[in-house]
Amino acid sequence: MAHPGQTPPRHPPRHHSAARPARAHPARAQRPRHCPVRRSLSITRTGQPILTSTNHDETTPLGRLVPWVLSGRSAGALRGQAEALAGVTGAPLDVGWSLATTRAAFEHRAVVLGRDLADFAAGLDGAHVVSGVASRPGKVVFVFPGQGSQWTGMAVELLDSSPVFAERLAECAAALSSFVDFSVVDVLRENRDLARVDVVQPVLFAVLVSLAAVWRAHGVEPAAVVGHSQGEIAAAVVAGALSLEDGARVVALRSKEILALGDGGMASVALSAEAAAERLAAWGGELSLAAVNGPTSVVVSGDAGLLAEFVAGCAADDVRAKLIPVDYASHSAHVDRIHDRLLEVLAPITPRTADIPFCSTVTGDFLDTSTLDAAYWARNLRETVDFAGATKKLLADGYGVFVECSPHPVLTMAIEETAERAVVAVGTLRREDGGPARLLTSLAEAWVRGV
C-alpha cells in the first residue's frame, strides 16, 4: 500500500511473511474498534482495500504513518495475520503496499497503523488499530449537515496536508469571493468571525464540498446525497444539481439575509416529532418544529424569549432541551420576513438535472433537481427539515452506507437511531481532531465495515 502522498512503487515489492496462516482465536466485535491515530492513512476503493489514494498528488507531509491492511475468513485467521507481523523485516511502506494490493479482502478486517516495525509488532493489540467485520451494507450516501458541525481550527491541517482538499477549497473560495468580503482560508487559519452566520455558513459550505472531494479522491463515490438545512446546498453542488458558483450564491446571499432576522433562537429537544408537536400546540404557532432529525431528536425555533420559556418547561418535565447558540430562527415564521428578498437575490441561479440522486429533506423524498430554484431554497430555509423522513426513504431504497462529510459528525447517531438495523454511518473529521490522521482513520472505519 502506498504511503499517503507517495506514488505507488513502480514494481510491486517482494512478498513478506505477514500472510502466514493463523490459528483460531475468539471472535471480535463487529463494530470497528479504534484508537487515536497521530499521523495519517490513505485509502482507495478498487476492489482492494480503500487504503491507497487514487490521486498520486495527495500528500501527507505531516507524518509517515503507514497502514497495514489485514483480513481473514475468521477472527482467528485475522489475529494470526496480525501476529505474523512480528516477524516481518521489510520496509513498512513496502509491506503495506504489498498487503494492500496483493491480498484478497475477507470479511474479518483490520488496519494497523504505525511508523516503524515496532509499532506493527503488537498486531491487533497495538496503539493504533481499526477493526471490524465487513458486510454488504448497501449503496453509499454522502451526508451534509447544516450549521453546527463547525469548530475553531477545523480542517486547517488538511489545508497543509491534502492537495485535493486544498485545491477544492480554493475553488470554493474563488466562487464565494463574488459574494463575500472575506477570505475563506483566512477565516479558517485565523479562527475569526465563525459566530457570524454570514461567515460560518459560506465557510462551512466550502469545507463540506471539499471533504466530499477527498472521499471521492480515495475512491468512495456517492450513489446519492442528502443534506440537512444549509447542508442541502453543498449536497446539490456535489450531486451536480447546482454549479459551484450557484451554490456559492445561494449560501452567501441567503446567509446575509438571515442577518435581518436577528431576534430569534433555536433549541435541540429530545422528543419525537409527535410529542414535540403536542407540546408546541400550547404556544399557538409562536414556536415551530424546525427539524426532525431522528426518532427522539427534534429542533424547535422561534422568538428567543418564548423559546427560553419552552426550554425551561422541558427541563421541568425532565425532557432534555438545549438552546443552540444562534440568534435567528430558521425554519419558522420568522423566515417569512425575508421570503421575497430571497426570491430576488437567488433568482439568477440555474439548477439542472443532477448526476447523482438528491434526496430532499424538504420533501423527504428524491426529487428532480432541475426544480432547485430560488423558491426551493426559500422553502429549504422556511419549512421543517425532515431529515428522519429522508433517511427512511434512503434506507427503503437500499442505501446503507452514510458518510457524513463534515468537520464533526452531528447526524450519524440520528441515522443509526432511525435505521433500527445495522448500517454503516461514519464521520470524516472530529472536533479538535481535524487532520489527515482523523480523516484517514474514518476511511479505515468505512473499509473494515465493507465499504
- Long-range contacts, stretch 417-425, CB < 8 angstroms, 24+ apart: 417/294, 417/295, 417/296, 417/297, 418/294, 418/295, 418/388, 418/391, 418/392, 419/391, 419/395, 421/395, 422/135, 422/137, 423/137, 423/138, 423/395, 424/137, 424/400, 424/449, 424/450, 424/451
Residues in Cβ contact with 266 at an 8 Å cutoff, skipping those fewer than 6 apart: 290, 299, 300, 301, 307, 323, 324, 326, 328, 329, 330
CB neighbourhood size of 309 (10 A): 12
| Per-residue buried b or exposed e for 261-276, using 16+ beta carbons within 10 Å of the residue's own CB | beebbbbbbbbbbeeb
Q: Report the SS3 class of residue 370.
A: helix
Distance separating alpha carbons of residues 143 and 208, to the nearest angstrom: 9
Closest CA to 126 of 66, 59, 60, 72: 66
pLDDT at 242: 99
Residue 165: Cβ-neighbour burial (10 angstroms; 0-12, 13-18, 19+):
buried
- CA-to-CA dists, residue 27 to 22, 221, 353, 398, angstroms: 14, 31, 47, 28
User: What nine digits make up the cell of 44?
Assistant: 482507495
Output the pTM of the full model.
0.87
**CB contact at 8 A, 233 and 377:** yes
Same fold, 17-134 and 264-324: yes
Cα pseudo-dihedral 401, 403, 409, 410, rounded to 10: -60
pLDDT of residue 58: 53
* Angstrom distance (rounded) from CA 114 to CA 93: 10
Q: Rounded to 5 degrees, what are φ and ψ at 269?
A: -135, 135
Q: In Å, how far from its chain's centre is CA 182?
A: 25
Question: Which grid coordinates are listed for 198?
Answer: 454570514
The residues facing 34 across adjacent strands are 130
* CATH placement of domain 17-134: 3.30.70
Question: Strand, helix or coil at 344?
Answer: helix
Q: Are 63 and 39 in contact (CB under 8 A)?
A: yes
The C-alpha cell that represents 370 in the structure block:
432541475
The domain spans of the chain are 17-134, 140-261+332-420, 264-324
Q: Is residue 126 within 8 Å of residue 120, measured between CB atoms?
A: yes
State the cell numbers at 121: 509488532
Pick the closest to residue 297 from 269, 275, 322 (CA basis). Answer: 269
Fold of 264-324: Alpha-Beta Plaits (3.30.70)
What pLDDT does 52 receive?
54
Distances (CA, A) of 269 to 143, 291, 298, 411, 424: 22, 10, 5, 15, 25
Quote the cell numbers at residue 380: 429549504
Q: What is the pLDDT along the chain (451 residues), one digit of tens a residue?
A: 333 333 333 333 333 333 332 222 222 333 333 333 333 334 444 344 455 555 545 533 334 678 889 999 999 999 998 888 778 888 888 898 899 888 889 999 999 888 788 888 888 888 789 999 999 889 999 999 999 999 999 999 999 999 999 999 999 999 999 999 999 999 999 988 899 999 999 999 999 999 999 999 999 999 999 999 999 999 999 999 999 999 999 999 999 999 989 889 999 999 999 999 999 999 999 999 999 999 999 999 999 999 999 999 999 999 999 999 999 999 999 999 999 999 999 999 999 999 999 999 999 999 999 999 999 999 999 999 999 999 999 999 999 999 999 999 999 999 999 998 899 999 999 999 998 889 888 989 999 999 9
- CATH topology classification for 140-261+332-420: Malonyl-Coenzyme A Acyl Carrier Protein; domain 2 (3.40.366)
Dihedral of the CA atoms 23, 24, 27, 32 (nearest 10)? 10
